[in-house]
Amino acid sequence: MSASSPDSRPPSIGRRTLLSAAAVATPAVLGVATPAAAAPSPAASARKKPRALPGGGDLGPNVIVFDPSTPGIQARLDQVFRQQESAQFGTGRYALLFKPGTYNGLNAQLGFYTSIAGLGLSPDDTTINGDVTVDAGWFNGNATQNFWRSAENLALVPANGTNRWAVAQAAPFRRMHVRGGLNLSPTGYGWASGGYIADSRIDGQVGPYSQQQWYTRDSAIGSWLNGVWNMVFSGVEGAPAQSFPNPPYTTLGTTPISREKPFLYLQGNDYRVFLPEKRTNARGVTWGNGTPRGTSLPLSQFYVARPGVSAATLNQALAEGLHLLLTPGIYHLDRPIQVNRANTVVLGLGYATLIPDGGVTAVQVADVDGVRLAGFLVDAGPVNSATLLEIGPRGASRDHSANPTTVQDVFVRIGGAGAGKATTSMVINSRHTIVDHTWVWRADHGEGVGWETNRADYGVVVNGDDVLATGLFVEHFNKYDVQWNGQRGRTIFFQNEKAYDAPNQAAIQNGSIKGYAAYKVGDGVTTHEGWGLGSYCYYNVNPSIVQHHGFAAPVRSGVRFHNLLVVSLGGQGQYECVINDTGSPTSGTSTVPSTVVSYP
């Protein structure tokens, strides 16, 4: 292990469980014309088209907007942080938005379900002379549960020269300009398990220290200090050279295809949503040389949803041609949100959370061009859902290469906040879909957690061809965490932990194979490629469990992997191989990765 904290001691293992306290829905039936002489029947009157829904409107009480003249900014930031600091499975949801300008002497500490963002077209339009901080004081210096928070579209001038962003999964750092350094570990250099940076410029050094893994995409950095297990870069100016496994750097000069996440901004006094354009062979940030490339939509073209609104109303808005802006809060759904129109935007603020009730699917997207899903959490309900998120119907086959659907910072959770079940969390059927940063998590701690209590067999299933995943975090599923059946799929960075809570070897047996692979490429696939993929096991209920391999794929020249690793966390279970029957077994309690640099 090549990383070290400043006193040269190797960072410890991060183990969350050990350390934790524990069919198309129609929105309305259109009216049917009747002969002029006939009086409408009561049934006909009931079928009249509902009143059109308005676009735009107020963003609600949990979107807190500041400008440089706002009094008491620090006090308000502190108030939200006190409420959210340790509310891992609470109901609070907040978006903190800063109008363009300069803000002095602030330290915005971010707790759970809190997003902070600037409202300019460029990060440099909104400068905080101060910090946006994530630390782990609430959890005794352990940052491995610092989930569900984000920072976007701001310039920071850190008070001491370095900003601290000690996060775990589901905590994106997007479109940020740090005029200094960035420290990814908590105070005291305790355990950390993250993370994701995109479209950002860090002028100084990025110091991961104890961070186990990290993915940085289409950014610019001054330098990168160290690596623990798996550090992946694509399209990053200043990235360290390819050197896996020692140091564990996987470096691609460009990202094959990317399209940045939509974001809210102000044009004068009017809110708009900017839609960045697609880039191929991308490198570096999208901003900094004038107006960013893309298009924008006025807020009047969005239905601004508030918690408590029904799925029928959301679907009515979509059917009327509006996009959806989900303001912070929790939305219960008795039917799927149906996205049937090309180029529809569904954008969440402040970790807006969708809970499907009665076993329904939360969101279903038709086989159309250019849908953008971004910035929300899907939380499984207590009645098992066959799926939670579907991109394209089964058998989808249209070519979307010119205008793909993107799924960005869309997170899925089964259990933790309460009982939840789903057979398959995310199904990607549409071709050319880009999944750009997701964390799909069967909970290993919290409420409603147990091998059968929050049963969830499959995390992400990819059936569509030509799908690209950039930043894929999928953990703890009862069977395959990722099952990839489509042709020409590509994944850049994968982080996985197998389910901690398997009761015995028989519970995970996959026919004659010991355990389900974390990442399984279908037997019929002829072309597939992955870079920088890691799987960890921590079978703490039964440490004698053996997992044959982390990765499984057909042995074909067109199915290729670069820089794979498996790790046994403290000897709680072991791997026999890395991929198929290749790679050295893990052993003992040393928590040293077993690696394969190239396969086959």
Q: Is the peptide bond before 195 cis (omega within 30 degrees of 0)?
A: yes
Amino acid at 139: F
Q: For residues 411 and 379, is the Cβ–Cβ distance under 8 A? A: no
Distance CA 481, CA 130 (A): 40
Distance CA 457, CA 422 (A): 8
Structure tokens at 398: 């249209």
Q: Is the peptide bond before 600 cis (omega within 30 degrees of 0)?
A: yes
Residues 6 or more apart in contact with residue 15 via CB below 8 angstroms: 144, 191, 538, 540, 569, 570, 572
Residue whose pair of structure tokens reads 């069977």 in the numeric block: 479
Q: For residue 28, what is the enclosing H or E element?
A: none
Q: For residue 235, what is the enclosing H or E element?
A: none
Q: For residues 513 and 541, is the Cβ–Cβ distance under 8 A? A: no
Distance CA 316, CA 142 (A): 45
Structure tokens at 139: 């959890």
CA 301 to chain centre: 26
529 a catalytic residue? no
Q: For residue 364, what is the enclosing H or E element?
A: strand 363-365
Q: Which of 277, 497, 529, 576 is catalytic?
A: 497
CA distances from 135 to 98, 109, 141, 166, 211 (A): 22, 8, 8, 5, 13
CA distances from 24 to 28, 234, 340, 393 (A): 12, 38, 9, 11
Residues 6 or more apart in contact with residue 367 via CB below 8 angstroms: 392, 393, 396, 397, 398, 429, 430
Burial (CB count within 10 angstroms: exposed 0-12, middle 13-18, buried 19+), residue 39: exposed
Burial (CB count within 10 angstroms: exposed 0-12, middle 13-18, buried 19+), residue 521: buried
Burial 335-370 (b: 16+ CB within 10 A, else e): bbbbbebeebbbbbbbbbbbbbeeebbbbbbbbbbb
CB neighbours of residue 241 within 10 Å = 8
Residue 154: closest CA among 113, 191, 201: 201
Over its C-alpha atoms, the chain yields an Rg (Å, rounded) of 23
Amino acid at 449: V
CA 54 to chain centre: 30
To 10 degrees, the CA torsion angle through 116, 218, 528, 434? 40
CA distances from 387 to 318, 347, 381, 383, 456 (A): 21, 21, 11, 12, 10
Active-site residues: which are they?
497
